[in-house]
Amino acid sequence: MRWLWFSWLSVCNCASFAQAVDSTRLLSEVIVKSYAANKSITLVPASIAVLDSLQLKRFNNQSLVSAFNTVAGVRMEERSPGSYRIAIRGSSLRAPFGIRNVKVYWNRLPLTDGGGNTYLNLLDNASLDKIEILKGPSGSLYGAGTGGVILLNAWSGKGNQISVRSTTGSFGLFNVQAMVNGSIDKAKVAFTYAHQQSEGYRQNSSTNRDAFSLQLQHAIGDRGVLSSSLFYTDLFYQTPGGLTQAQYDANPAQARGEAASKKASVNNKTFFGGLSYDHQWNEKWSVQLGAYASTTDFVNPTFLNYEKRKEENAGGRIETQYGFTEGLLKGKVTFGAELQFFHSPIRTFDNVFGNAGNLQVEDEIDSRLLIGFGQLELDLPKNYSLTIGSSYSFIGYKFNRLSTIPAIRQQREFDPSFSPRLAILKKVSKNLSVYGSVSKGFSPPTVAEVRPSTINFNDSLQAETGVNYEVGAKGNVGRFSYEVALYYFALDQTIVVQRLNNADYFINAGNTDQKGAELTLNWNVFDNRKEFIRSLQWWSSCTLNRYRFGAYNKRDTDYSGKQLTGVAPIIIAGGVDIGMTPSLSLHTTINYTDRIPLNDANADYAADYFLVGSKISYSRKINSGQQLDFWFGVDNLLDQKYSLGNDLNAAANRFYNATATRNYFIGMSLSISKN
C-alpha cells in the first residue's frame, strides 16, 4: 500500500511542484531581498525559497514545521512541542536540540546569537509576514555557516487594523493571537501578542508560551527610515526524552522513565531589541545601519543535571550599496560588516527530583565574531549577470571555570576564514533563467558544541569547511512555475554528535560527500472563474539526497562510505489548494519521507512515513471593514506512527521521539479594518 502512495506522489511530482506563492502569482513575480538583490527570484543566481503569510495559513497556527517542510532541501524537526531543529541541505548531526549551522536574521539583524545557537521557537507565526530561505553556503554576505540562511521579516500589516484569532484542538491545544497595526502621518506601528498551550501527545510534553512583539517605523525626511523591532517571549516546554525501539513499539506516547521525576523541561525567557536606519543618499548610494541587544534566562532540568544560564548578546550590522551604470555595464556594489558579542554565565547542578542540588561546575563563556563582506553584481550584455562576493570572518571563544581553585581559563581563536562566492546567470528568455555558482562555507563549532553536556571545554574541535558547486534553472511556462537545482557539496571536518554516559559531545568525522537534487513546480490550473470551484493550484516538491561519509574512522571502526546520519534519501511534499466560492477554500497537503539512518554505523533506521493533512476555511464579511473567518483541519489524517525528531547516535539506542497521532483543530478570527 505504501508503494502505491509513493507511486502516486511521484506522478504528482512530474506534473506539479511548488514551494510557491498564492495561486495568482508566478515565480517571476516573487521579489526577494536575499543577497542584497531586491529583485525577482528568477534573476538571483541561487536557490531561494519564499514562504509568505498566505502559505503559512495553509496549516494550523501552532508552529512553522509543516510550512518549512514543504520546501525542497529543508527539513524541520520537532523532538517535542516547542523543541525545533532545522537542516538545510544537511542533517541534524550537530543539533541534539536547537538550531545550529543555520544563520537566522530577524528584520535584517542576527537572531542567531554570538554562540551560534538560534531560538526560533520564541517567535509566534503571527509576528511573521515573510520568510526567505537561502540554501547552501551563503558566507559571502552572511558570514559563518555552511547550512544556509533564513531571513525572517516581521508582520507589519497594511492600513489600520485590529485582528484576533484563536485555535483549539487535540491534545489540549489552545492558541490565541491578537494583532494591531496602524499608521499616523509618517509613522507605522504593528503589535502582536500570542499565547499558546498544549498538553502534548506524549507524557511530559506540555508546552506554554506567551510572546509579545512590537514593530515601529518612522520616515525621517524624504530619504530615511528609522525602524525598531522588539519582542519578549516566555517559553516553557517539557522534554519527554527518546525511546528505544521496544519502548516505541509498545507505547510511543510514553516518556523516558525519569522524565517526570527529573522534571525534564526548558524555561526560556528572552528579550530582543533592535534598531535600524535606512538612508538613500542619492540615486547611487544607500546605507543600512542596525544594532541589537538581547538577554536570555535559560533554566533546563535534564536527565543528567540541572542547568541555569544567562545569555547576553549585542551586535550590529552595516551594509552600504552603490549602484552604477558605465556604458554597457550596469551593476551594484555591496559592502559592510557585522559584529557580535556573546557572554554567558553557566551553572550546572545535580538534578534532585527536578530541583537544583549541589553545584557541579560554574563556568563563563564568551565569544566574539567579526565579519567583513563585499559583493559585486554586474549586468552584462546578452542578458548575462555576474555576482562575485566574499566575506572574511574572525571568531574566538574564551572559557573560564570559576568553580575550581585556581580558576581554569582556556581560549580558542579560529583562523580567519575567507568565504568567496562566484555566480553567473543567463536570462534565456522572459520566462527562463539558468545559473551556476561556486561558494565556500566556513562553520566553527558553536558554544554548545565546545562546551557540551559533558560540561568539559573542547578546544580541539575544528571548524567545518566546504565548497559547494551548483547549477539550476527557474522560470515559468504558461501557468507553470518551476525550479531545478543540482549541487555537490564537499564538506571537510564534519562535526557529528556522540554520546558518553548519556551526555553529548562532538568530534570531527573527516569529510562527507553530499550530492543533491531539488525540484519545484507550481501549476496554477485556473483562477477567477465564476463556477463553484473558482481557483485550483496543484503543487509539489522533491528532495533527492545522496550523502555519504568519506574517510571516517571512530574507535577503530571504519564508517567510510556509510549514509550520512539523519538524512532521508528521498522527501516528497505536495498538495492542492482549491478556492470554492469567494468565501470557501480547501488546502490538502502530503509528505513522504524516506527512512533515515539513526547512527553512523547505519545499523538502525527510522521507518519511512506518509502524512496527509487538510484544512478548510470559510470567510464572511460582516460589513465594510469587518470580516469573520472560520477553519477546521486535521493533521496526520492516516494516523501514521512516526518520529519527527530523532536523537541521532543516541545512548542506549534511545532514538525515537514519537509525534502526535491523528489530531484535529478548529479556529476563528475577527478582523476590523479602517482606511
Q: What is the DSSP string of 339-402?
A: EEEEEEEEEEEEEETTEEEEEEEEEEEEEEEEEEEEEEEEEEGGGEEEEEEEEEEEEEEEEEET
Per-residue model confidence (pLDDT) at position 19? 33
Band the pLDDT of 28: cuts 50, 70, 90.
low
Q: Report the alpha-carbon distance of residue 546 to residue 544 in Å, rounded.
A: 7
Cell digits for 301?
532540568
Lowest mean pLDDT among 19-28, 45-54, 443-452: 19-28
User: Within its chain, how far is the Cα of 495 from the centroid?
Assistant: 19
Per-residue model confidence (pLDDT) at position 228? 94
Q: Report the alpha-carbon distance of residue 185 to residue 163 in Å, rounded.
A: 22
Band the pLDDT of 450: cuts 50, 70, 90.
confident
Q: Report the alpha-carbon distance of residue 600 to residue 649 in Å, rounded.
A: 7
pLDDT tens-digit readout, 392-446: 999 999 999 999 988 899 998 888 888 999 999 999 999 999 999 999 988 888 8
Lowest mean pLDDT among 7-21, 410-424, 488-502: 7-21
Cell digits for 331?
551593476
Q: Which residue has the higher pLDDT, 318 or 129?
A: 318
- At residue 666, φ and ψ (nearest 5 deg) are -145, 145
- At residue 250, φ and ψ (nearest 5 deg) are -75, -45
- The type of residue at 51 is L
Cell digits for 348?
550546572
Residue 331 has pLDDT above 80, yes or no: yes
- Other C-beta atoms closer than 10 Å to the C-beta of 547 total 23
How many domains, in total, are found in the chain? 1
The domain that holds 147 is classified in CATH as 2.40.170.20
Per-residue model confidence (pLDDT) at position 25? 58
- Other C-beta atoms closer than 10 Å to the C-beta of 385 total 21
Q: Which residues pair with 548 in a beta bridge?
A: 513, 563
Q: Please compute the mean of the pLDDT values over residues 312-340 and round it to a whole number.
A: 93
Cell digits for 194?
500570542
Question: What share of the chain has pLDDT > 90, as a percent?
Answer: 64
Answer whether 85's CB lies under 8 Å from 98's CB. Answer: yes
Per-residue model confidence (pLDDT) at position 407? 87
Q: Report the alpha-carbon distance of residue 329 to residue 35 in Å, rounded.
A: 20
CA–CA distances in Å: residue 531 to residues 539, 582, 631: 22, 10, 22
Q: Report the alpha-carbon distance of residue 48 to residue 533 in Å, rounded.
A: 31
- Other C-beta atoms closer than 10 Å to the C-beta of 363 total 20
Helix (H) or strand (E) holding 22: none
Give the closest residue to 169 by CA, choosing from 573, 613, 586, 590: 613
Residue 194 has pLDDT above 80, yes or no: yes
C-alpha torsion sign, points 97, 102, 108, 112 = positive
Per-residue model confidence (pLDDT) at position 442? 85
pLDDT tens-digit readout, 536-569: 899 999 999 999 998 888 777 888 999 999 999 9
Q: Please compute the mean of the pLDDT values over residues 57-85 and round it to a whole number.
A: 89
Per-residue model confidence (pLDDT) at position 17? 32
Q: Which residue has the higher pLDDT, 420 or 156?
A: 420
Residue 87 has pLDDT above 60, yes or no: yes
Lowest mean pLDDT among 422-431, 486-495, 662-671: 486-495
Kind of pairing, strands 148-154 and 103-106?
parallel
Q: Report the alpha-carbon distance of residue 156 to residue 228 in Å, rounded.
A: 12
pLDDT tens-digit readout, 88-116: 998 777 776 778 888 999 999 999 988 88
Mean pLDDT, the chain, as a whole number?
A: 89
Q: Which residues pair with 218 in a beta bridge?
A: 187, 226
Answer whether 594's CB lies under 8 Å from 606's CB. Answer: no
pLDDT tens-digit readout, 112-137: 988 888 999 999 888 888 999 999 88
Which runs of consecutive H residues, i.e. helices, occur in 189-244?
A: none
Band the pLDDT of 9: cuts 50, 70, 90.
very low
Q: Which residues pair with 101 in a beta bridge?
A: none
List the domain range (segments joined by +) for residue 226.
2-674
Angle made by CA atoms 644, 125, 240, in degrees to the nearest 5: 35
